[in-house]
Amino acid sequence: MPAPSRAPNLERVAESSESNGAIADALEELGDLYELDGAIIHRVLAYRSAAKAVREASVSVAALARAGRATELPGIGKTLQEKIQALIETGSIPATEKLRAKFPPGLIEITLLPGIGAKRARLLHSELGVDSPQALREAALSQRLRGVRGLGPKLEASVLAALDEDSARQEVRRAPRILLPKAIEIGEALIAGLIDRGPPGTHVQLAGSARRQADSVKDLDLVATTDEPAVLARRLAELQEIEQVHSAGEAGARARTHSGVNVDLRIGRPELLGNLLQHFTGSGEHNVALREAAVRAGLHVSEYGLLDDATGVTHECATEEQVYELLGLAYIEPELRENRGELEAARLPAGAAAGRARRRAGAPAELPRLIQAGDIRGDLHSHTVASDGHNTITEMALAARERGYEYLAITDHSASHGFGNDVSPEQLRRQIALVREADAQVEGIELLAGSEVNILPDGSLDYEDELLGELDWLIASVHTSFRMGEQAMTERMITAIEHPLVDAIGHPTGRKIEQRPPYAIDLDAVFAAAARTGTMLEINANPDRRDLSDVHARAAARAGALIVIDSDAHRTATLQNMRWGIATARRAWLTKQDVANTRPWPELARLGKRSKRAPAGLGEQAHK
């Protein structure tokens, strides 16, 4: 199939070198260079505050600058708009290039050290030829600073202290949070390596926030059991993924991977596996609450077992179930261990008192039976070459069938670019026909003709209703104009929710994990409107979105909104992103019933808003 006018991938702008972070870094650098060059302080500060505004912007500043609208950000005037535009068009800012040629890059690092500043850095450069932190350290150690007029032995000492502190800070900065898929990938490689090289009978598994399926992970926690702990701890250093081992002993090892991830390996006897896992899975908040509850029952919980105050006996638990059972609790799934009511809900019925305590805590009566991957029957958000996807309808259909799905909605973007409503209805008509054609050809899976339509700033959609009415499935999403103020954004969203043909809202908050916070919006009002109208809300399973988040999805479901979990796949391989949406749904306490696409399509087609449409089920009648 030919690829008609490919839309730029709006959703990925923030990941490229055009990310707000990259633009902010460039402005910060230019500010530092101006300072080195002796510019007036106001100018320097202007660049620093502009960098901050860019970093905190909830929209793509590159997209804004391209539209000539970066000046809408606080502290950004015409000059800065031009510089940002130059950066995204040519990859650099001319003023930066000029100053970079004048000052060695290491000199900027020196100006940033506490107690040095631009003036002294320039002096050190001109008098001693110091051009990097390393050169500065050598000059201070050989007591050459005191030879420069105005500098003395005291500065040599404070420079050395500042340099040490700075390298410690850099160490921390080198280990940022990583997204869950990467964490699991690294963790699984380490586990395979340890099992392969460890003593016979070695058991290793993920713990920590990766096991709880959190959005992102700071350190990787692994729990292992073996009868030869010291041997296993030494093996960690032999793995190809490991850059450096900080410590290794009987209790475990700490190391860092080449990818900059800190790894904590805890090792114990097999009899203690349950205690170790429970302790090192966390979360910290869950464990604090658990310990407090245990103390009230005369027990002390730790990775070494449960100590009974009365008898002095320490109970060792080979499974986590035993740990929770000794505390009078049902087993709590790792995804729920965030101290969000799970302990109250897990309390085993030991009479009326437990029930009363539970009601007081406002927690549900019992732990939910969490949704599982196998419950999903279809995917309702996917892209093909018709917009910014990489595979054809048929390729996507075959891959979805391979995953065991009963249905797949093809929902290419409506707009050919991010601004305005420049869309071709003809293109969508053609696409509907192509989906129907592929549906007739591919056996064993139902293809739904859908669209991911832009919600315009006034809440309207960018196709006419008559055309939208021909679709089996319609998602509406916000892709532009993120910074419009909470009230306007909420009204915009609710207008789309109230549209009689909109089945679901895609990635409802627009957040990008570790990159971009949700846009300002009154989610309680959005959830109420969704529940009232029967419009479903998406958990977009793209691992850098996971939007709705766990907390928001839980609130939405409690408000009575139906949830759909979608991969938003842009190629066959990313259909498997469904996994991260399931993870979020589980962290949101969702059951199979809370999620619409655990149902067969004919049943789903009668749900929500569709229940009010006559005759019931567009898709049901439209084909097959």
Distance CA 284, CA 302 (A): 12
Closest to Zn ion by CB, 81 or 477: 477
Least distance from Zn ion to the Cβ atom of residue 188, Å: 28
Distance CA 428, CA 447 (A): 15
Give, for 299, the enclosing helix (H) or strand (E): strand 299-302
Q: What is the DSSP string of 524-542?
A: HHHHHHHHHHT-EEEEE--
Question: Residues in the site for Zn ion, rule: CB under 5 A?
Answer: 452, 477, 506, 568
* Cα–Cα nearest to 88, from 17, 28, 27, 9: 17
Least distance from Zn ion to the Cβ atom of residue 623, Å: 23
- The answer to whether 530 and 592 have CB atoms below 8 angstroms apart is no
Least distance from Zn ion to the Cβ atom of residue 472, Å: 16
Closest to Zn ion by CB, 111 or 387: 387
Closest to Zn ion by CB, 45 or 573: 573
Residue 279 neighbours by CB under 8 Å, 6+ apart:
287, 301, 302, 303
Sign of CA dihedral 556, 487, 494, 63: negative
**Residues forming a β-bridge with 205:** 223
Closest to Zn ion by CB, 452 or 550: 452
**Residues forming a β-bridge with 247:** 254
CA distances from 289 to 277, 294, 327 (A): 17, 9, 12
Structure token digits, residue 139? 């000059």
Closest to Zn ion by CB, 452 or 503: 452
* Cα–Cα nearest to 460, from 445, 435, 446, 478: 478
Closest to Zn ion by CB, 133 or 581: 581
Least distance from Zn ion to the Cβ atom of residue 8, Å: 13
Give, for 476, the enclosing helix (H) or strand (E): strand 473-477
Least distance from Zn ion to the Cβ atom of residue 301, Å: 44
Distance CA 510, CA 520 (A): 10
Place of tokens 């502290």: 75
Least distance from Zn ion to the Cβ atom of residue 435, Å: 16
In one letter, which amino acid is 431? Q
Closest to Zn ion by CB, 35 or 452: 452
Closest to Zn ion by CB, 452 or 462: 452
Least distance from Zn ion to the Cβ atom of residue 385, Å: 14
Closest to Zn ion by CB, 335 or 452: 452
Least distance from Zn ion to the Cβ atom of residue 571, Å: 12
Least distance from Zn ion to the Cβ atom of residue 311, Å: 59
Structure token digits, residue 259? 């990818």
Closest to Zn ion by CB, 320 or 452: 452
**Residues forming a β-bridge with 266:** 223, 252
Q: What is the DSSP string of 393-421?
A: HHHHHHHHHHTT-SEEEE--BS-SSSSTT
CA distances from 87 to 79, 408, 525 (A): 12, 40, 39
Closest to Zn ion by CB, 367 or 537: 537
Least distance from Zn ion to the Cβ atom of residue 392, Å: 17
Closest to Zn ion by CB, 478 or 561: 478
Closest to Zn ion by CB, 220 or 380: 380
CA distances from 169 to 131, 430, 610 (A): 20, 56, 55
Q: Name the phi and psi angles at 302, rounded to 5.
A: -155, 180
Sign of CA dihedral 511, 515, 519, 523: positive
Structure token digits, residue 110? 């020196």
Which strands sit side by side in the sheet containing 407-410, from one edge to the other?
378-379, 407-410, 446-454, 473-477, 504-505, 536-540, 563-566
Closest to Zn ion by CB, 211 or 381: 381
Q: What three-state secondary structure class fits 477?
A: strand
Structure token digits, residue 30? 């230019």
Closest to Zn ion by CB, 125 or 507: 507
Sign of CA dihedral 81, 82, 85, 90: negative
- The answer to whether 303 and 266 have CB atoms below 8 angstroms apart is yes
Distance CA 87, CA 364 (A): 53
Rama region for 310: left / alpha / beta (φ>0; ψ in -120 to 50; rest): alpha
